[in-house]
Amino acid sequence: MTITYTYTATPTNIVPYNMSTQQRDIIQGIAWTITGTKDGKSTALGGSLDFDITNGVSDSFVAITDLTTDNLQAWMEARVGIERLTEMKENIEATIDSLPDDYTVAP
């Protein structure tokens, strides 16, 4: 069966106002996970990212009211890198493949 991957990303730190740039609600950090699911089994890997917003955000600023999960995923992919994300996906699939057929997550 084919493995499917689901990304989640959540802002972890929002700075209300940057006086030098007069930008509001700047996302300074995000937590993210990649969950792989195959044959009814799943596992996840993830991390967190912090952004240097000392001088505000340049051309990539997105108002928090316009923010989408696609924005967060794109920022994560840009920072983590496709090569590292591919390694993580391979690790997720190897972990799932190593689980016994009767594997279930305990509640």
- Give pLDDT tens digits for 85-102: 999 999 999 999 998 888
How far is Cα 35 from Cα 30, in angstroms, rounded to an integer?
16
Label the pairing between strands 4-18 and 41-50. Answer: unpaired
Q: Which residue has the tokens 């689901």?
A: 6
More confident residue, 22 or 96: 96
Q: How is residue 74 annotated by DSSP? A: H
**Structural contact between residues 20 and 55, judged by C-beta atoms closer than 8 angstroms:** yes
| Residue 4 contacts residue 35 (beta carbons within 8 Å) | no
| DSSP single-letter state for residue 99 | S
pLDDT in tens, 31-83: 999 999 999 899 999 999 998 888 778 767 788 888 898 999 998 999 999 99
Rg, Å, the chain Cα set: 17
